[in-house]
Amino acid sequence: MKEQFFKYIQELQDTITSTLEKIDGKATFKEDNWQRAEGGGGRTRVIENGAIFEKGGVNISKVFGELPEALRKQFGVEEGHFFACGLSLVLHPTNPFIPTVHANWRYFEMYDSTGAIVTQWFGGGQDLTPYYLFDEDAIHFHQTCKNACDKHHPEFYPKFKKTCDEYFWNAHRNEARGIGGLFFDYLKENEEFTIEDRYNFVTQVGDSFLESYVPIVQKRKEIAFAKKHKDWQEIRRGRYVEFNLVHDRGTLFGLKTNGRIESILMSLPPTVQWVYNQESEDNSLEARLLEVLKNPKKWIY
């Protein structure tokens, strides 16, 4: 399974980066291959200052070896070996009318002292962070997520949509980071699903990514924007930074376990503003976004 999934994310990285380069038309992804001293490494691909994408990264990594202390504590084991691989992506468009998107699909195995698999699972998801909210974009994104889920189980979409709203909650601001999508973790083999079923589900979601996001980019990329729109985007990007650095378990885990910092923090936006006590006008587009972020909506009925 680990070879099968790693092959999948290698190919998916190629598909996604080549598609995004065509859409951008100006910038290309720069590749950095890196090694992890304790075992494994990754292939980071970053795009900057494009026609569409101001900054973005589509990274894969495969790491293995002895369980780091933080994971031993988390799993309550004294020793063990592990394997983990995944694809992470974040895209920050220049145009404030195009949303930021984040996705991650990953696989984890843990072994006993004989090298046998003790446990294995998949995790991941994808979520959208608009600066100006077009309901039809939110519906399209969620519908694509739901279509992928529904091919596997009717309860997947409502369950993973809810988990996503809960996970990407910027608690200190009492608002969501964005308008959600899917979030799932610890998808293990059980009576209902084999690990192959889990693989089929996660890859179905991964395969749906471009369909969920690209039509939104195409629809919004020609909208003219003014400084006030860009300012608002940069202020909202500040909330994105706050979530990733204060609350995101994946980011904090990476920072505290000697992960590759530049690959982890490629998720941070290129330009950001913090304005004291910024307030939006009643009934403005900005206020409408905030209202939805304070009370996450059901987009699909």
CB of 288 to its own copies, least distance (A): 22
Q: Is 172 in the site for its own copies (CB under 8 A)?
A: yes
Closest Cα to residue 130, out of 92, 170, 169? 92
Contact status: 249 vs its own copies (CB under 8 A): no
C-alpha of 175 from chain center: 18
Cβ 116 to its own copies shortest distance, Å: 34
CA dist 128 and 251 (Å) reads: 18
The smaller minimum CB distance to its own copies, of residues 36 and 173, is found at: 173
Contact 204, 152 (CB under 8 A): yes
**Residue 267 to residues 50, 272, 285, Cα–Cα distance (Å):** 16, 13, 26
Retrieve residue 179's tokens: 């308008």
Cβ 9 to its own copies shortest distance, Å: 20
Reading the block at residue 20, the tokens are 């995004």
Question: What kind and span of H or E run contains 48?
Answer: strand 40-48
Residue 10: other Cβ atoms inside 10 A:
15
51 backbone dihedrals φ, ψ, rounded to 5° = -75, -35
Question: Binding to its own copies by residue 290, rule CB under 8 A?
Answer: no
CB under 8 A: which stretch of 12-20, 204-212, 275-283, 284-292 binds its own copies?
275-283
Residue of the chain from 114, 277, 283, 295 that contacts its own copies (CB under 8 A): 277
Question: Which range, of 76-84, 125-133, 220-228, 258-266, touches its own copies by CB under 8 A?
Answer: 258-266
The nearest distance, CB 82 to its own copies, in angstroms, is: 21
Measured from the CB atom, the residue of 57 and 206 that comes closer to its own copies is 57
Q: Which of 22, 113, 186, 276 binds its own copies (CB under 8 A)?
A: 276
Q: How far is CA 254 from CA 114, 137, 151, 242, 246, in A?
A: 28, 32, 33, 16, 13
* Residue 125 backbone class (left: φ over 0; alpha: ψ -120 to 50; beta: rest): left
Q: What is the nearest approach in angstroms of its own copies to the Cβ of residue 231?
A: 10
Interaction between residue 265 and its own copies (CB under 8 A): yes
Nearer to its own copies, 59 or 126 (CB): 59
95 — phi, psi (to 5°)? -70, 120
CA 208, distance to chain mean position in Å, is 14
Interface residue with its own copies, options 19, 111, 270, 288 (CB under 8 A): 270
Restricting to residues 37-76, which ones interact with its own copies according to CB under 8 A? 46, 48, 55, 57
List binders of its own copies among 90-109 (CB under 8 A).
none
Q: Which residues bind its own copies (CB under 8 A)?
A: 32, 46, 48, 55, 57, 172-173, 234, 238, 241-242, 245-246, 252, 255-256, 261-262, 265-266, 268-277
